[in-house]
Structure 1
Amino acid sequence: MSRLVLIDGSSYLYRAFHALPPLSNAAGEPTGALFGVVNMLRATLKEKPDYVAFVVDAPGKTFRDDLYAEYKANRPPMPDELRAQVQPMCDIVHALGIDILRVPGVEADDVIGTLALAAAADGLEVTISTGDKDFAQLVRPGVILVNTMTGSRTDSDAAVLDKFGVRAAQIVDYLALMGDAVDNVPGVEKCGPKTAAKWLAEYGTLDGVIAAAPAMKGKIGENLRAALPRLPLNRDLVTIRTDVALEQGPRDLQLREQDVEVLRGLYGRYGFTQALRELGGSAPLPEVAEGGTSSLRGTAAGYAKAGDAAPVGEVDAALAAKGEYETVLTDEQLQAWVQRLRAADGFAFDTETDALDAMRARLVGISLAVEPGTAAYIPVGHDYPGAPPQLPMEQVLDALRPLLEDAAKDKLGQHGKYDLHVLRRHGVEVRGYADDTMLESFVFNSTATRHDMDSLAQRYLGYTTTRFEDVAGKGAKQISFSQVGLDEASAYAAEDADITLRLHRVLAPQLAAVPALEKVYRDIEMPLVPVLARVEANGVCIDGAELRRQSVELSSRMLAAQQKATELAGRSFNLDSPKQLQAVLFDELGLPALVKTPKGQPSTNEEALEAIAEQHELPRVILEYRGLAKLRSTYTDKLPEMVNPDTGRVHTSYHQSGAATGRLSSSDPNLQNIPIRTDDGRRIRKAFVAPPGRKLLACDYSQIELRIMAHLSGDPGLIRAFEQGLDVHRATAAEVFGRALEEVTANERRAAKAINFGLMYGMSAFGLAKNLGIDRGQAQDYVSLYFSRYPAVRDFMERMREQAREQGYVETLFGRRLYLNDIHARNQNLRAGAERAAINAPMQGTAADIIKRAMVSVDGWLTDQRNASGENRALMILQVHDELVFEADADFIDTLRGEVEARMTAAASLRVPLVVDSGVGDNWDEAH
């Protein structure tokens, strides 16, 4: 997800000025505040945000001055030493490629608040870089606060509660009660943080405190009553506005390319030697005055790490040190490295290519490491003008092939599936792929951090890696790796292999210390890597003509929906424009705005339209239009464009570390999201076809998570239903409603199905009522009846909650863990979410483990199934949720069906039978 960083420039400038000593450069110009801000900016940019803004107060009065003439009246004028640093600060910010925002009539806080909520609503992750407590009122999902000068982080309602004793939604009332001496906003006399938090805990809101004032006892009660007339004004003054009219939106704030020459001049002038060093060049530095650059150098070290994640545990200093890397350009060097690899028990490797798509990328180089701190890069495809001569690719691959294809020689990688693809396409079948640091991290703790190399190096080694953008640039100006100079390329690429090896040295012992987790890693995740690589490489045939037919039909129906919407609205309008839709639905038709945007505007999202769909036909027509548009843009129009020209097939990418529970996800295309609940969605599957002479076989676990629930809970009623092969939803309905199986109505079965699946996902009576269209009391009766018939299910759910509270994690049947960081959160919503995950994760995670085990088993058998010409008689081509799809010779399909069903049902031993439903057809829809 893209990230926006909003920097509270005014706050940092003042804080740095007062926090740092009165530093100056050799020319006597003040630099203390400037130094603090520059180091804060450097720390921010190391995090590689996608969008950034540096927001400062505009000169002149604001609307708050109109509300209260004494607002900030006690602030002294800006000191001359600070004023002298404002323009240099702006010059540096601009040269760094960051937009500076000043909006007359409002404060920087209001600009930041408006951008933060707009960005969060637009799907961006928002970080507000500030030290101002007032911003805590903006914390919510997608919006966090980071004080880059101290490294402190406020990233949830629970964190706000821990820090201030009140929730984010109460911060405004909290500030109104206490007042703000800095802004000359007087609060209730003698009301400090504890008293304000205590009142709000007891009375909920400022209005509640005001209502309780007459009964307040003692001096503090008198003080509160004396302040009552001004408290509503206080609330207005401390509320950050989020509706400021701005010329730039969040996505207009892209980080621009730095003006390196301007930065060199500015850093050199003000004596910022570390910042200058990071630019990779030098500029004439003034002669250093006492107390100038030398004292800055000492301070810079403290700020340079601000905001960086601290490494976990004690790390060997050697694993955090810079390495020594060699660029291999001669056959003598290559043979020396081959000898090193032969002598080693195993080695780390990584490939560099000219594209992200592993099925099309061209090899540019290979990096190798056998011990921490030492690595080599072997370039084979750098083709920029003036590039030094490199060893021929075939010569390098021939030298390395015996080692890479030796199953007895352990290989180590980071997200190595990509490298397996690249090398296979260049004639090398890697065997002995023994360890993957991405998967070590994921299995050890799926929720602790991101599992990319940069994040892992920072967390486990305290090491800041060179990022791809550092050597290749970013955005429209990014160059192919084949165009990167060899010196920069070698330092970047060799570091990848080196850091992979170092991470393995840290992660492997931690994983080995938890035998159950190491077993998940060794028996499930690592064996799955080459299996997924084969599934991805196999790909699936697409019927482009069928998709084009569907696109034409969808377009026709979209046009009909547009015409119907125009008729219902009484005028034409753009169905894709939220603004025009708001005007039609809420202004002209007068429909109620039941769902609001973060800015308080009527929402037109799916939830909002569903909420009013019973009151007018137009919202339902718009929903239909959007559904058709999404199918067309995501699948019928896009899939034909994704066919690989070399193979004639579509190749998705599967991600083992995509979901914390262990479920596989996929992308490019995302096959997990093909809708199957509508006829239009199911038709997409018709375009996934078997080539001539072949058939598709689809094998799907039947109600696997309910079966896992029966096993884990041990409930006799559920076990009995599955053992007898009953329709479990009908059997549940019969139990809950006290009927014979044959007397269960369709509505009762539907209710039982909603309960069965809803409980697995922690659905409340309120959610069940909404799902079934019944009142909450009736839904609660259904839940109570369910638990009276299946008491062991209720006991299991409570057991999982308690286990999560005691241990901080829950486990799957095979020992995979899901850590639940919010299980003790003071915020009820966060805690409830963690409790729902505690119930669902053992079932969803166990289902994920089971199908992964099945894939490994089936793949092992398929490897030997070849015809007389040595070709595969069958291929595993898709994995979607609990389903596997195969392509096979028509005369082999029955054999395949029997073997696959047997291996899938044998993938786990439960108290109830695992059942696999299978079907055969010329396309996926027929086979499903």
Structure 2
Amino acid sequence: MTRLVLIDGSSYLYRAFHALPPLTNAQGEPTGALFGVVNMLRATLNEKPDYVAFVVDAPGKTFRDDIYPEYKANRPPMPDELRAQVQPMCDIVEALGISILSESGVEADDVIGTLALAAAQDGIEVTVSTSDKDFAQLVQPRIALVNTMSGSRLDSEEAVIGKFGVRPAQIVDLLALMGDTVDNVRGVDKCGPKTAAKWLGEYESLDGVIANAGAIKGKIGDNLRTALPRLPLNRDLVTIKTDVAMARGPRQLQLRERDADTLRVLYTRYGFTQALRDLDAAAAAPPVAGEGRRIGVRGTEAGYARPAASADGTADPALAVAGEYEAILERAQLDAWIERLRDAGEFAFDTETDALDPMRANLVGMSFSVEPGRAAYLPLAHDYGGAPPQLDRDEALAALRPLFEDASKKKLGHHGKYDLHVLRRHGVDVQGYADDSMLESFVYNATASRHDMDSLALRYLGYTTIKYADVAGKGAKAIAFSQVAIDDATRYAAEDADVTLRLHRLLAPKLVAVPSLERVYREIEIPLVPVLARIEANGVRIDGDELRRQTADLSRRMLAAQQKATELAGRTFNLDSPKQLQALLFDELKLPAVLKTPKGQPSTNEEALEAIADRHELPRVILEYRALAKLRSTYTEKLADIVNPDTGRVHTSFHQAGAATGRLASSDPNLQNIPIRTEDGRRIRRAFVADPGNKIVACDYSQIELRIMAHLSQDDGLLQAFASGADIHRATAAEVFGRAMDQVTPNERRAAKAINFGLMYGMSAFGLARNLGIGRGEAQDYIALYFSRYPGVRDFMERTRQQAHDQGYVETVFGRRLYLENIAARNQGLRAGAERAAINAPMQGTAADIIKRAMIAIDAWLQTQAGAARMILQVHDELVFEARADFVDTLLAEVVPRMTGAAELRVPLVVDSGVGDDWDQAH
């Protein structure tokens, strides 16, 4: 069978650019889109087609622009980061021996359509490699569409009907009715694919729909009738031409001999080391899956992509082997695997459950891996009809418990805190949790990629994992994991453990090669995992009656704000509607539109309203309403709903791999965002209460980031102020304004405080002026005075900026790195933002490291206190405990020294503490 592959180059370049993280090579050149396209090309060539072409758009206008000047008029220009990858892409395509085709006056789609039809008529089997839905109109015998990035395939009329609800011959009419916002082809307003398919099912064609437009009722019918004049033009615009005059036909597109020397240079420059190894070794096509219960890596025809080159070019060939996975259905198999795990120096594990909330999830199965490519899945609760018999869950866990509770046996996972929770709920207290591939990636380079397994497998292993939706579906058709067939579950779950181990084997040496990062990982992040798991499991008691009282009060005040806003506007309007607010504020009241949305409309966000709040009272009332509404919807109404029915407490989730600086984040509920500068925000804390007989104890680092700035800058004035124990903002005001400490006015202290904190976040004179309500010139004078009194701070900031430019990263006191991908950006705004982050990150990151170190030390002590106290929350620079009333003094005597001793700085660390029946009282 003779085969032709036509590659839609433009489609894949854009798709890869938006789908993959912003990767760069060692020189800082963007490589993300290039990486995606190269992987696709290598996968295509491994299929050994007889003919192949890479088709791109030619520069200049096309016939569509002539018949419709607004065609694609709303497309933004190509991003600079993408444009920089176009020529390298073409160079690699040429070096691979693939013909690059383009024709002036038409689009790449038309070239592909012409060649596909000609080839099919010549008896050649055609594969169009694209992610563009428009090509579905070409599907017919001998013409198939394959999306190499997702693995989807359309190769028959039935497949097209299954995806779009219409036959290939009706696709053009479907697109004409729907329109295409990307190409600026306006269809029938509010007509989506289902409506268009329904009409074509009833009336067969676009002409039939037009002829029967009068019979279609409702608003959508009105929209159709309004659109009738433009529909014939739409059809012309979305129809792929198949009669383009071509210099070469399908049989002139043979694959040329590749230019290995050029490829070697290009792969080396862009960091595609695995591609280099394949080039040098002339590797054969990737292996296909095994049979039966031995599950291997499946090819793209099954929807699962093959291994490819790693993005950073450091993948070990031993880590790219095909997987052999088995389902454990017999006790003898389980016993054999337990022995295998016990004998291994380390092993990866993962759990499969029936819920995302680890505090409520039930165990469905477990997977294990001891070497790359070797893994097993232990199904325990698959309950679909016809499911094979499985081992009893309690019996299997009893067999596994001694191994998992043996601290001498090293276990590793990916985001393993979730799995620790699940196993704890099922009676297994995991000990010896030694490594976590998510945290290895996060510490190695927090900004290089997302840190989920799918993203890391693609970046570091060049491997596309099976997605949860591949085995369980998504949306309304999704099924519980317990309903997934065991063969499919084995492929998915065992791969998780396998890939976790592979990632660990690749990332661990990278950390070892940078001792400071290895210390951050070993001494801070890994020991923190079980600490956070215990805090989450402890949870906090919520006073539902207090929340109901607050909800009622907020509702009353929201109503009052609505009434006030109506009075100011002179009419009723919806305070929650940005469109109505735009019309009222900017069209009727003629207030200045200080900020615009990405689409060029006047913005009504918080910053925009703050900017005009001094021009009219209404924006201030709207801001008040929004603040009250947010507190009600986010906290007073929601907190009671997320109380765990088994524990009667709220269990937040802490995220270590969130903020690049290392600060912990939390969700469900997000406790980091409770506003504390307003009375209403602080009042939320009254609902966080102690059990009867207990007290809430709060311990908070005082001005920790300013103290870290003093340490890092070594400025004599700041060091002396902190060493003396003076009010740092008053001391700063005294220095800046040339006064004695007792002569500083409240406004001068407020200005000094704004400068102290503002400089840490890169605040400009404009920002300081707006913050203090003064002129920009006066704010600039304040900053100049500050730097004249504290020259060490200015030198530190300049030194840090230069380090960021020279190294591409900055470090915390403990050696954590923050890489700054935009530090050398041509765009001044991006570059300035990276410089601001460079100044703030060492302080914020060091503060995060310090409180994590304190948490580890305190938790170790708490484990010896027989439950007299427990750590229940961490919020920014604060730790919150619940303790027996008679144990509070002991707790404070032990906790405060551990917090102040978590780092040795040039200035003392100070901790403020408080005790109360609720969190607010403890302040």
Bin of the TM-score, shorter chain as denominator length: 0.7 to 0.9
Change (3 A) 1:66 1:455: closer
1:326 paired to 2:326? yes
Letter of the 2:873 counterpart = L
* Number of the residue aligned with 1:185: none
1:691 is paired with a residue of what secondary structure? coil
CA distance in 1, matches of 2:845, 2:71: 57
CA deviation profile, 1:83-110 (whole Å, cap 9, x unmatched): 9577225977775569975579998533
What TM-score, normalized by structure 1, do the two folds share?
Answer: 0.72
- Equivalences for residues 196-595 of structure 1 within 5 A: 277-278=301-302, 310-595=310-595
- Residue 860 (structure 1) aligned with residue 866 (structure 2): no
Which SS does the other structure have where 2:872 is aligned? strand
- Whichever residue aligns with residue 539 of structure 1, its letter is G
Provide the C-alpha distance between the structure 2 equivalents of 1:650 and 1:566, rounded to a whole number of angstroms: 38
Structure 1 partner of 2:870: 875
Distance 1:389-1:65 versus aligned 2 partners, 3 A rule: closer
Deviation at 1:920, TM superposition (A): 0.2
Secondary structure of the equivalent of 2:367?
strand
Per-residue CA deviation, residues 160-218 of structure 1 (Å, 9 max, x unaligned), is xxxxxxxxxxxxxxxxxxxxxx9xxxxxxxxxxxxxxxxxxxxxxxxxxxxxxxxxxxx
In the other structure, the counterpart of 1:153 is: none
SS of 2:710's partner is helix
C-alpha deviation, 1:59, in angstroms:
11
Change (3 A) 1:105 1:326: closer
Asked if 1:62 is matched to 2:68, the reply is yes
Q: Secondary structure at the match of 1:109?
A: coil
Q: Distance in 2 between matches of 1:768 and 1:518?
A: 39
Q: Report the equivalent of 2:230.
A: none
| Matched position secondary structure for 1:851 | helix
Q: Secondary structure at the match of 1:575?
A: coil
* 1:455–1:66 CA distance, 2 compared to 1 (3 A): closer
Q: How far is the alpha carbon of 1:775 from its aligned partner?
A: 1.0
- Which digits, 9 at most, give the CA deviation of each residue in 1:617-676, with x for residues without a partner? 111111111111111000000000000000000000000010100000001110000011
| Change in CA separation of 1:340 and 1:747 when aligned onto 2, cut-off 3 Å | same
Percent of pairs identical after alignment? 69
Of stretches 92-101 and 538-547 in structure 1, the one that deviates more from structure 2 is: 92-101
SS in 1 for 2:649: coil
Counterpart Cα distance in 2 of 1:744 and 1:543 = 43
Aligned-partner Cα distance in 1 for 2:20–2:354: 24
Deviations 1:101-126 (A, max 9, x none): 5579998533699x9xxxxxxxxxxx
> CA 1:276 to 1:460, structure 2 compared with 1: closer, same or farther past 3 Å?
closer
Cα distance in 2, alignment partners of residues 558 and 62 from structure 1: 50
Deviation at 1:828, TM superposition (A): 1.4
1:110 aligns with 2:159: no
Q: What CA deviation, in whole Å up to 9, does each residue of 1:817-848 have, x standing for no partner?
A: 11112222222111111111111111111000
- Tell me by how many angstroms 1:316 deviates: 2.6
> Would the aligned equivalents of 1:696 and 1:886 in 2 still touch at CA under 8 Å?
yes
What letter matches 1:452 in structure 2?
D
Match of residue 70 from structure 1: none
CA distance in structure 2 between the aligned counterparts of 1:93 and 1:59, rounded to whole angstroms: 29
Q: In structure 2, what is the Cα distance between the partners aligned to 1:400 and 1:886?
A: 34
Q: Which sections of structure 1, spanning at least 5 residues, go unmatched? A: 1-22, 26-30, 49-54, 68-72, 116-181, 183-273, 281-300, 867-871
In structure 2, the partner of 1:11 is none
The answer as to 2:922 corresponding to 1:927 is: yes
- Structure 1 residues 47 and 93 mapped into 2: Cα distance closer, same or farther (>3 Å)? farther
Cα distance in 2 for partners of 1:775, 1:691 equals 52
1:105 and 1:483 mapped to 2: Cα distance?
Answer: 39
User: CA contact under 8 A between 1:34 and 1:88: conserved in structure 2?
Assistant: no
Residue 911 of structure 1 is matched in structure 2 by 906
CA distance in 1, matches of 2:5, 2:528: 55
Counterpart-to-counterpart distance in 1, 2:337 and 2:504: 21
**Residues 805 and 823 of structure 2 are in contact (CA less than 8 Å); yes or no, is this contact kept in structure 1?**
yes
Match of 1:756 in 2: 756
Cα distance in structure 2, aligned partners of 1:538 and 1:691: 12
- Other-structure match for 2:667: 667
Tell me if the contact between 1:850 and 1:908 (Cα under 8 Å) persists in the aligned partners. yes
Instruction: State the SS of the aligned residue for 2:920.
Output: helix
Question: Matched residue pairs, number?
Answer: 703
Q: Deviations over 1:384-441 (max 9, x none)?
A: 1111110001111111100000011111111100000000000000000011111111
Displacement of 1:37 in angstroms is 9.2
Q: 1:925 to 1:61 in 2, by over 3 A?
A: same
- Three-state SS of the structure 1 residue aligned to 2:780 is helix
Structure 1 contact 407–431 (Cα < 8 Å) conserved: yes
Q: CA deviation at 1:564?
A: 1.1
Residues 109 and 719 of structure 1: CA distance in aligned 2, closer, same or farther (over 3 Å): same
The answer (yes or no) to whether the contact 1:58–1:102 under 8 Å persists in 2 is no
CA–CA distance in structure 2, aligned partners of residues 531 and 57 of structure 1: 65
| Pairwise CA distance, 1:765 | 1.1
For residues 374 and 504 of structure 2, the distance between their equivalents in structure 1, rounded to whole angstroms, comes to 15
1:519-918 matches, cutoff 5 A:
519-866=519-866, 872-918=867-913
Q: CA deviation at 1:897?
A: 1.1
Which residue number corresponds to residue 138 of structure 2? 88
CA distance in 1, matches of 2:808, 2:349: 36
Deviations along 1:755-785, whole A, 9 cap, x unmatched? 0001111111111111111111111111111
Cα distance in 2 for partners of 1:310, 1:336 equals 34
SS at match of 1:364: strand
Rounded Cα–Cα distance in structure 1 between residues aligned with 2:770 and 2:186: 37
Distance verdict in 2 for CA 1:698–1:93, change over 3 Å: farther
The change in CA–CA distance for 1:463 and 1:781 in structure 2 (over 3 A counts) is same
Cα distance change of structure 1 residues 420 and 770 upon mapping to structure 2, 3 Å threshold: same
- Aligned-CA RMSD value: 3.2
Shift of 1:57: 11
1:479 maps to amino acid:
I
Unaligned runs of 5+ in 2: 22-56, 74-102, 118-134, 140-144, 146-156, 166-170, 190-243, 245-297
The answer to whether the Cα contact below 8 Å between 2:63 and 2:105 also exists between their aligned partners in 1 is no
Distance 1:57 1:884, change over 3 A: farther
Separation (CA, whole Å) in 1 of partners of 2:840 and 2:607:
24
Deviation at 1:276, TM superposition (A): 7.9
Asked whether the 8 Å contact 2:72–2:183 carries over to 1, the reply is: no
Cα displacement string for residues 866-898 of structure 1 (whole angstroms, at most 9, x for unaligned residues) = 2xxxxx100100000000000000000111011
